[in-house]
């Protein structure tokens, strides 16, 4: 299976990283709103979900962004590396 070809240009990598962060932030916001709505309907004591909501929201946003950023910027972290890189 061929590996994902990323641009060698640092500006292109930066733009790709920024686009991913903005897109992921929007997608995670919609996902978190959906999860909160489900929890609000099934949990009559919604206020107890406040701390858990904050932790899940933080993890849902930060962990994928950190993993993809590392994948984009650092060669050794890529899943498959070839001798050509």
DSSP string, 11-77: HHHHHHHHHHHHHHHHHHHHHHHHHHHHHHHH-S-GGGGHHHHHHHHHHHHHHHHHHHHHHHH-GGG
What pLDDT score was predicted for residue 79? 60
What pLDDT score was predicted for residue 48? 53
What pLDDT score was predicted for residue 59? 85
pTM, full prediction? 0.67
What pLDDT score was predicted for residue 82? 56
What pLDDT score was predicted for residue 78? 57
State the Rg of the chain over Cα. 18
What pLDDT score was predicted for residue 84? 52
Structure tokens at 80: 């498959």
Low-confidence ranges of the chain (pLDDT < 50): 85
């Amino acid at each position: 299976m061929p590996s994902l070809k990323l641009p060698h240009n640092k500006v292109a990598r930066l733009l790709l990283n920024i686009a991913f962060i903005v897109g992921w932030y929007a997608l995670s916001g919609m996902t978190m709103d959906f999860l909160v709505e489900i929890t609000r309907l099934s949990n009559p004591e919604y206020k107890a979900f406040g701390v858990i909501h904050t932790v899940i929201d933080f993890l849902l946003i930060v962990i994928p962004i950190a993993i993809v950023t590392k994948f984009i910027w650092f060669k050794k972290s890529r899943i498959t590396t070839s001798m050509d890189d």
